[in-house]
């Protein structure tokens, strides 16, 4: 059995002060950094995903049209645009500890890390299979959106999934609780970090 860590969208735009800042985002970023620095924690592979949206593009309707208010369900304010500070990983993350980078949402709506591609054009399922990964810990932002979607896709790929609740932050409490309940019902282990 080999275990990987998937860090979902710990980016400046999703932490406090960002375009779609989530309360607790900074704390999650620092917590993940501490988790990776803990010498008792071992991963065979560390993957990080991030939104990498096109500029001057509605990204397949993901960004609200100019002059229209986002509904925060299907349409969102502009965020994580390629080449901007908001799209960069939170400064707490030690990029030297990340083995594989996945970019998603390039011109299309994409919530799951499994909908993106690595910087060399591979999909995440293939990367994990090539590395012999059977178990996946999922952490990051946001519990009720991209963490949920990524964990569900990992289960669909027949991985044993563990969501570390001390290392996630959601947009809103009620949908975050519902997301964790759904993940548990779909076979994910929900565990404190």
DSSP per-residue codes, 92-114 = TS-GGG--EEEEE-SSS---SGG
Digits of tens for pLDDT over the chain (193 positions)?
999 999 999 999 999 999 999 999 999 999 999 999 998 889 999 999 999 999 988 999 999 999 999 998 889 999 999 999 999 999 999 999 999 999 999 999 999 999 999 999 999 999 999 999 999 999 999 999 999 999 999 999 999 999 999 999 999 999 999 999 999 999 999 999 7
- Rounded to 5 degrees, what angle do the CA atoms 164, 41, 178 make? 5
CA 157 to chain centre: 17
Q: Where are the beta strands (DSSP E) in 52-170?
A: 100-104, 117-118, 135-141, 160-169
pTM: 0.96
| Cα separation, 123 vs 113, whole angstroms | 9
Cα 123 to Cα 176: distance, rounded to the nearest angstrom: 27
Q: DSSP E strands: which ranges in 42-93?
A: 45-51
The pLDDT tens digits for 55-67 are 988 999 999 999 9
**Catalytic residue positions?**
9, 104, 146
Selection from 114, 104, 46, 48 nearest residue 79 by Cα? 104
> In the block, which residue shows the tokens 């404190």?
192
pLDDT of residue 40: 86
Q: Domains of the chain (ranges plus CATH)?
A: 3-53+81-191 (3.40.50.850)
Q: Are strands 160-169 and 189-191 parallel, antiparallel or unpaired?
A: parallel
């Amino acid at each position: 059995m080999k275990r990987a860590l998937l860090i979902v969208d710990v980016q400046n735009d999703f932490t406090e002060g960002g375009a779609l800042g989530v309360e607790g985002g900074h704390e999650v970023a620092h917590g993940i950094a501490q988790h990776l620095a803990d010498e008792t924690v071992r991963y065979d592979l560390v993957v990080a995903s991030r939104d990498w949206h096109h500029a001057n593009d509605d990204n397949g309707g993901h960004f609200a049209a100019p002059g229209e208010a986002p509904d925060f369900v299907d349409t969102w304010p502009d965020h994580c645009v390629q080449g901007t500070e908001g799209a960069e990983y939170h400064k707490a993350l030690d990029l030297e500890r990340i083995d594989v980078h996945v970019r998603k949402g390039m011109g299309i709506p994409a919530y799951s890390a499994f909908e993106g591609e690595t910087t060399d054009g591979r999909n995440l399922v293939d990367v994990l299979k090539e590395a012999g990964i059977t178990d996946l810990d999922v952490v990051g932002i946001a519990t009720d959106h991209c963490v949920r979607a990524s964990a569900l896709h990992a289960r669909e790929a027949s991985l044993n999934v563990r969501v570390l609740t001390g290392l996630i932050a959601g947009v809103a409490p009620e949908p975050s609780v519902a997301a964790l309940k759904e993940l548990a019902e779909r076979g994910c282990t929900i565990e404190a970090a």
